[in-house]
Structure 1
Amino acid sequence: MKLSVIFCTYNREKYLYNALKSVAEQNFPHQDYEIVMVNNNSTDSTENICRQFQEDYPQVEFHYFLETSQGLSYARNRGVKESSGDIFVFVDDDATVFEHYLSCIAHFFKSHPDASACGGPIVPVYEIEKPKWLSLYTEQLLGGALYEGDKDKPFRNGKYPGGGNSAFRKEVFEKYGLFNVELGRKGTGLIGAEEKDLYDRLTRGNEVFYYLPQMGIHHYIPAKKLSESHFKELTYSIGKSERIRTKAVSSKAYRSRILSECKKWLGSVVLFFIYTIKLTPSKGWKLLQFRWNVTRGLLGK
């Protein structure tokens, strides 16, 4: 079984080398994996960093491609098409992987022939002090934080792996198609939901995907991602992404998502009062801002 570790990158020169290094220095046979790097029109020193990595780690099978169609989904689809492995592993370009990352994935797929995909913990690493308004829920939003315990288990109740830390059998893309290019980041834009769209297709196909506690990444969060402007744009884009995604499925799916948003509002209001009682009202207020912006994006306001 061969793994294809796919990095899709856009102007992440600060983090890229360490991301690649964390994979190359795994205690895992080099002949059992390849790294597929897709540069999505970066304007920084990404290409030079990749050349340096090739010189520093000649034992690693490394393939570099330039994808000129702008968008993360275009880049991920290019990675799928260029990969030769049996398992496709997507890792964010601003993350480093846990120590036994590759061996964990390989062992899992060998021992779980029923599984189509898996993912693991995402641990945010903040480059500045965490703001007081940051809560469990907004941390999931801004840092992609994900933790489901210390045991292997299937994802349940609509949960699924984070897009920047996920692995799929090759057959998944042959059976269910590629990432939706109408969704996903494009340049500095913050449209998303391409992972949710794919996992929804897998769910409708009765596929099983698992959480693996050893399959973790450290995700680096710069100050910019904690700014008010980023928060506003990201939360609005979540709603807009959901509008695009569900309308592409059916008008019924869109109406169902609006109903779900109403339920989320109820939960957010309850949490606002809980945080206020606990004398941390800024956390609750931020959740209401989050919900308001998502709703506006969902309704196209």
Structure 2
Amino acid sequence: MRTEIDQRSVPPARVHPRVSVIIPTYRHQNKIIDTLESVFRQTFQDFEVIVVNDGSPDETAQLLAPLAASGRIRYVEQSNKGQAAARNRGLAEALGDFIAFLDDDDLWPDDKLEWQVSYLEKNPSVAAVGGGCELINDSVAAGEDVFLYEGVVTAETVSCGNPFRSPGQTLIRTQVLREIGGFNTSLWGADDMDLWFRIALRAKMVALRQTALRYRIHEQNASRDVIRMHLNLCRMIHSHLRLVPAEIRDAMRKNYYVWLYNYLGPSKVWHAIKHGSEPFQERDSIKNKLNVTLVMTSLITAPTLGWLFARGIITGKVRKLLRRLKWYDRAQQ
């Protein structure tokens, strides 16, 4: 666990930076220093760093205090409102022409900003550029490179799946982000995918086959709030379908629901319905009538998806029954 940064390796703060690096942080005091070091090692140095502490209950504030006092980072603190709200707070504070988001447990390759800034400067018609990611673990061991998509990212592209694992893979023009209002804070777990869709409707976004992020895989990546995720993805899909022309709406609906099934899967959804009621309070509760309506509507509007869910649940029930019968037979012997 790193607890401090060698101040000699940190670039001076910029008055008018080209890039604003925005890092929301929550409960990652053991990772944030490594994340910041990957930013300070960038070969492109015309940037500011804005760290938004989203009400983290650990020692993050004390850990970052020396960097904030020296002006190496701009430190902002708020009560816990979620990652999307923290990113929006950073966007409101940003002075740069481009925005680069980075999660507080991920790392950047040294040339990430250099090649992305160069691309946007050479292509003024492009609003955002993204790259692939390298999967790493807590020991920062190198893993496989992942490129979910390559080419121009359109609204139809997004309906087939999220083109990026994390916003940390992208560089976005500040003006475009502010014009579309930043992240939708009501779409927990789906706010980044929603952002790509809204950018694609307004401007050109490109994904290139070049590594832009070292994405850390750990237990917290896999959210246990599967039902909450499903409900917010349904809300996102419904809002997106209202924004596209009627002639492509049916095709996009099909794309979305096939992707939704592949992404969550019937076994995960069924397990969450049965065992995961405690995290789902108030408007995210499975007992909420609106939530039940959303789930049922998503199945009805996509019959193939509905059948896949039903088949998965029925298969799971049959397997459980067979396991019980085998246990009963053994107990009688």
TM-score (norm 1): 0.69
Q: Report SS of the residue matched to 1:210.
A: strand
- Within 1, Cα distance between the matches of 2:190 and 2:198? 13
Residue ranges of structure 2 left out of the alignment (5+ in a row): 1-16, 274-285, 297-333
- Give secondary structure in 1 for the equivalent of 2:167: coil
**Higher RCO (C-alpha 8 Å, min separation 6):** 1
CA contact (8 A) 1:192 1:241 kept: yes
CA-to-aligned-CA distance 1:168-220 (integer Å, 9 cap, x gap):
1011123222211212xxxxxxx311112222222222x21122344521122
**Residue pairs, 1:194-209, within 5 angstroms:** 194-205=191-202, 207-209=203-205
Residue of 169, 176, 182 corresponding to 2:173: 169
Question: Measured at CA, do residues 23 and 264 of structure 1 come closer, stay the same or move farther in structure 2, by a change above 3 Å?
Answer: closer
What is the aligned-residue identity percentage?
Answer: 22
Question: Partner of 2:229 in structure 1?
Answer: 238
- Cα shift at 1:33: 0.6
SS of 1:95's equivalent? coil
Aligned residue among 215, 221, 226 for 2:217:
221
Alpha-carbon contact 2:117-2:171 (below 8 Å) kept: no
Alignment correspondent of 1:126:
137
* Alignment match, 1:116: 127
1:52 shift after superposition: 4.1
SS at match of 2:228: helix
Q: Secondary structure of the equivalent of 1:94? A: coil
* Secondary structure class of the residue paired with 2:177: helix
What SS is found at the alignment partner of 2:172?
A: strand
| Secondary structure of the structure 1 residue equivalent to 2:63 | helix
Measure the CA separation in 2 of the matches of 1:114 and 1:17: 35
Give me the whole-angstrom Cα distance separating, in 2, the residues matched to 1:266 and 1:70. 29
Larger radius of gyration: 2
CA RMSD of aligned residues (A): 3.6
Report the CA distance shift for 1:17/1:264 in structure 2 as closer, same or farther (over 3 A).
closer
Q: Provide the secondary structure at the position in 1 that maps to 2:43.
A: coil
1:248: how far off?
4.2
- Structure 1 stretches of 5 or more lacking a match? 129-142, 184-190, 269-285
Report the alpha carbon displacement of residue 259 of structure 1 after superposing the two structures with TM: 4.4
The correspondence for 1:65, drawn from 76, 95, 115, is 76
Query: SS in structure 2 opposite 1:204?
Result: helix
Question: In the alignment, is the contact (CA less than 8 A) between 1:67 and 1:74 conserved in 2?
Answer: no
Q: How many positions carry a matched residue from both structures?
A: 249
Is the Cα–Cα contact under 8 Å of residues 237 and 256 in structure 2 kept in the other structure?
A: no
Q: Which residue of 1 aligns with 2:88?
A: 77
CA distance in 2 between counterparts of 1:83 and 1:252 reads 29
Q: Which residue of 1 aligns with 2:49?
A: 35
3-state SS of 1:11 partner: coil
Tell me, what secondary structure is at the counterpart of 2:233?
A: helix
1:147 lines up with 2:144 in the alignment: no
Q: Cα 1:41–1:267, aligned 2, differ >3 Å: closer, same or farther?
A: closer
Partner secondary structure for residue 31 of structure 2? helix
Determine the C-alpha separation between the residues in 2 that align with 1:212 and 1:222. Answer: 26
* Equivalent position of 2:114 in the other structure: 103
**What amino acid is the match of 1:7?**
I
* Partner-residue secondary structure (3-state), 2:30: helix
